[in-house]
Amino acid sequence: MIKSFNYRSIRFSISIILIVCMLLSSCEGRDFNHYYGDYPECHTMALYNIPNTVGGFEAYCELIEEDSYGRKLYIYGGDIYSTWYDENEDSYTCVFACLISQSTDDIAVYYYPKKCVIKFEYVSEWSISYLWNHMNISEIILNCFSQEAIEQFKNDNDWDRELQKERFVEQYITREGRRNQADRLTATPTTTTVVQNSLTPSTTNVPQSME
């Protein structure tokens, strides 16, 4: 009976050690310049249409709505270069955005240049990763934009109207961000497509400091 108990204890201990090793190895292999989420097409549009956004592991992307022609409205949250690389800073510059794709397939995302994004930048002591791990970031992002601004944004992107493929810009989908210092020096968005649409965000809904 004693031998059987010892054998089971040893086998249990080995199983625990193997599980711990697997967890540690998976963490060590995590590439923080890589986006692992469900919406790489949103991540791609953000990288190429929001100047200086970092993307990668800590980027937040969520699908909000889809029209009858396959257009998709996303929200995006990400850090901006301005403080990401300054270790002496106590705050982060973050960007919250809404993006609309006209169409997507397995390799590319299609959108209107200069009309596919509205954005709002703010400075906080909280990074994007803290926000989406500890708060309802979807609500925070959407509260930055009035309903009127979002409806105008959708209208500018022909929401619920026939697709106009001749107006599309094609961008190959990427999960790679711009976290690396070398990327920071060379990364330049291919299009400047920031559109404010007379947007006046409500900063009262954006967390500024920890209570």
Question: Would 207 be classed as within a structural domain?
Answer: no
81 pLDDT band (50/70/90 cuts)? confident
CB 187 within 8 A of CB 48: no
Tokens 């210092």 found at: 181
Q: How many domains does the chain fold into?
A: 1
Q: Is 82 exposed, middle or buried (0-12, 13-18, 19+ CB in 10 A)?
A: middle
pLDDT exceeds 80 at position 29: no
What is Dmax (Cα atoms) for the chain?
78
Question: Would 1 be classed as within a structural domain?
Answer: no
79 pLDDT band (50/70/90 cuts)? confident
Full domain range(s) for residue 57: 40-195
CB 142 within 8 A of CB 65: no
Q: Which residue has the higher pLDDT, 159 or 128?
A: 159
pLDDT exceeds 80 at position 67: yes
Distance (Å, rounded) from C-alpha 189 to C-alpha 49? 6
pLDDT exceeds 90 at position 31: no
Question: Would 49 be classed as within a structural domain?
Answer: yes
Model's pTM, two decimal places? 0.71
Residue in 173, 21, 200 with CA at minimum distance from that of residue 104: 173
Question: What pLDDT score does 190 carry?
Answer: 39
3-12, 40-49, 150-159: least confident range: 3-12
81-90, 100-109, 154-163, 170-179: least confident range: 81-90
Question: How would you list the strands of the sheet with 72-79, edge to edge?
Answer: 60-66, 72-79, 92-101, 117-124
Distance (Å, rounded) from C-alpha 76 to C-alpha 40? 11
Query: Average pLDDT of 156-166?
Result: 97
Query: Average pLDDT of 73-99?
Result: 74
